[in-house]
Homo-oligomer: A and B are copies of this chain.
Amino acid sequence: MNLLPEHILDRLYAVLQERMNADPQSSYVAGLFARGTEKIAQKVIEEASETIIEAIKGDPERLREESADLLFHLMVLWTDQDILPQDVFEILERRFGTGGLDEKKSRSK
């Protein structure tokens, strides 16, 4: 019997939720939560910019690492704002899950 959520993003989210109210000294993430939404938001933009820099440079190794950092901090932002990953995935599902054929129609812009 497997009680653990299976996808790493779900497991990561569970870890982040645990850390949210932990002692700010206890981990990088706990400290980030303690510094608040603005600081987390800045980290998201920072990692997004590092991600695109590696893409422009064409360094796949670094792009993977920076993409992981971006996903990580995006999930910290979700945790901070009580957003469930599942809710975001469902939006993608709604837009692309039917074979991705109606992407143009379902995008708002």
Contacts and interface: CB of A to CB of B under 8 A. Distances in A.
A29 B56 CA distance: 19
A60 B82 contact: yes
A11 B97 contact: yes
Contacts of A60: 81-83
A45 B49 CA distance: 7
Interface residues of A, number: 60
A63 interface: yes
A7 B41 CA distance: 26
A3 interface: no
Interface in A69-106: 70-72, 74, 77-78, 80-83, 87-89, 91-93, 95-97, 99-100, 103-104
